[in-house]
Structure 1
């Protein structure tokens, strides 16, 4: 599983795009989903796009990045990408607290 965070700016939004985004604005909706979740403020200048993608055994960060960009483009809003961060959840190790006897 990959979790990808894309930070960017909206670019020349139409009035319809602006109205649609403002109708959906929810600062508390920040989940990683397969279709992707936008977080932005009312000025509609910058955004954060989060998505979670299944990983095939031979997938790496470049493949996850391309699939995340495709998910972002599927939403149809004109944008510019500033930064992309990819986390391969297969590499995350969870340390459990030891119980003391």
Structure 2
């Protein structure tokens, strides 16, 4: 069993928002500003005041038999979490685009000290 840590980002566009949902999103926009974006287990929802595009960010730990299976599971889980969040808020949208980065695969290059 392999456990891997992922940053999952689901992006999309708002579509056919009801006046009530549009009003609620405008009221709450300050709490969902891009500058507050972070990858968290519970997710971070950000969008611009224009109500055109949005992003949901998740930090997930996935345990599967192989790295490839964990990669696929992270993508599916992130997309499901994003869709459930949007549905729970009554937010209609166009299809989501999901990107996944395994933090275990990220190589950090240290800068050489300056003379």
1:20 and 1:51 map into 2 onto residues whose CA distance is 23
Runs of 4+ in 1 over 6 A off after TM superposition: none
Contact 1:3/1:53 (<8 A) preserved: yes
Structure with the larger helix share? 2
**Equivalent residue in structure 2 for 1:14, among 15, 18, 34:** 18
Task: After TM superposition, list the pairs within 5 Å mapping 1:1-101 onto structure 2.
Answer: 1-25=5-29, 26-58=33-65, 59-75=69-85, 76=87, 77-97=91-111
Alignment TM-score, normalising by the size of structure 2: 0.72
SS in 1 for 2:36: coil
How many Å apart are 1:47 and its aligned residue?
1.2
- Mark the runs of 5 or more structure 2 residues left unpaired by the alignment: none
Distance verdict in 2 for CA 1:73–1:83, change over 3 Å: closer
Unmatched runs of 5 consecutive residues or more in structure 1:
none
CA RMSD of aligned residues (A): 2.2
Deviation at 1:3, TM superposition (A): 0.6
